[in-house]
Structure 1
Amino acid sequence: MLLLSPGLAQAGIALLDLLQRRPLSVPELLSGLPKVGGMSSTAAFSLAEAMAWLDINEAGQLQVSAAGLKVHSADCYEAALRCILFHYVETQRPDWLQNAVYGRSRVLNFCPVGIRQVFVEAGLAGAPDDEVVNFWDWLAGIARGLQNDHLLAIGREGERLTLAHEEARTGTPARWIAIESNQDGYDVLSIRAADDRAFLSIEVKASQGGMGGALHLTRHEWEIALDRPLHVFHLWDLSCALPRLATVTMDEMAVHIPTDAGAGGWEGVEVPFKAFESLFGPALP
């Protein structure tokens, strides 16, 4: 992972300025110029390459790309640093980015010292004017997208495990409903048993948190389940080397479902995996 700092950012800006004035080949840059902007030319080149700031012209020389021009054309140092942070987040997807969903202070407290100083020098740690607010909103949006991608990947793993388990249990391949549409209210369509072809719908929930994990069930998912003739929930514990499965019936789930009261109505519920701990066991091979 590329570690950004104000010094490295300044070296990158200096390199872009140099290449705008005088295109160089990579050997000319690295051998002929030991330092750029106070840092090694190798470090400056590595930054520019990672951020997609460079192109190669027909003569084999480095030139500034469209992305690099956005940094080079910034009207002040703060604006250039903000542009650099945009490119850094988009290209590197650093681990600290996930903190952005919890607000600015969480990022500034948990990111590396060099990154924090870039935020400070970019004017993003001070008074929240419209541009600052827009930046942090953008960063939070990127972080939420990464979280959603991560949760989707966990969910898909659970669905794949259910497909394999159901084929082993019934001898018949199940249908992966969720891959076609997420509007049906369940994820997999199987059958009751090898000798009973009645349809069995399955809602799949997966967690890497073991018994500390939880399933999130929407009202829509529950109402669809109530309308299905045969429906179960597959809960996958992915915290073990060999994933464990709990098959939860409608009656077993119903005791954890809220009811509407007064003028209020529930839209979603979180149920801990621990509530079904006794049901977990090895899946079919």
Structure 2
Amino acid sequence: MPPISHDDDELAGTEQPFVQHLVELRNRILYCLIGLLVAVVALSIWPGPSAMIDIIAMPIRAHMPPDAKLIAVGVLSPFLVPLKVLLMVAVLLTLPWLVYQIWAFVAPGLYSHEKRFALPLIMIGSLLAYVGIAFVQFFVLDKMFAFIQNFAPESVAATPDVASYVSVILSLYIAFALAFQVPVVVMLLVRFEIVTIEKLRSFRGYFIVLAFVVAALVTPPDVISQLSLAIPMCLLYELGILLSGWFYRTARAPDDEQAKV
């Protein structure tokens, strides 16, 4: 592709001083913090930290005796665990706002064709993160705890520590939210011509092995959670291949389009 001349460069003359970039970065970080603060205050009022813990504890409580409860072993756990859950939910709630602030910071330095593919990717990535977390909450945890609780002997009372439980589900949320970004990664690899769609198809068998290895490393040592991560990763890989062709054509630079004519 021939270099874009200074006269044809739509970003020519839009360069800003370094200090102005720092000011803009500071403003965007401030907006992110304000959004998080608003979400924390709102969630503290309703439904409240205790209610949020009750909600995320539903999958394991369903497989415990009716009168059993999670226990708090640490001295500070009754205070720190609800605070941790409150911050976690606030980040998830404000995720679109946080992503928008990142987009608003980098958008002035992008060409129009780059903006054309960046915004859909941000939206798709955020949606996939929510889908991954919802998949954990409403499917994976229930099946995982049903599988684990069946191994508990009758002489053992399965009363998990709430801090340990929150740490496990938080790691699962992060793992599935990241793993569900496979289509975004695949589309970016094709867009920047690092790999071709044909190469991705030929790599399909290796990716299946890779998906199961990743699932074994980042999930608890039970077959249910490992399969629940590996199988969606394989399906999302196929989805990424299907979307890559459309995405490559949509995000093509104007000079690339003229070169194809």
TM exceeds 0.5? no
Higher strand share: 1
Higher helix share: 2
* TM-score with structure 2 setting the length: 0.25
Highest RCO, 1 vs 2 (Cα 8 Å, sep ≥ 6): 2
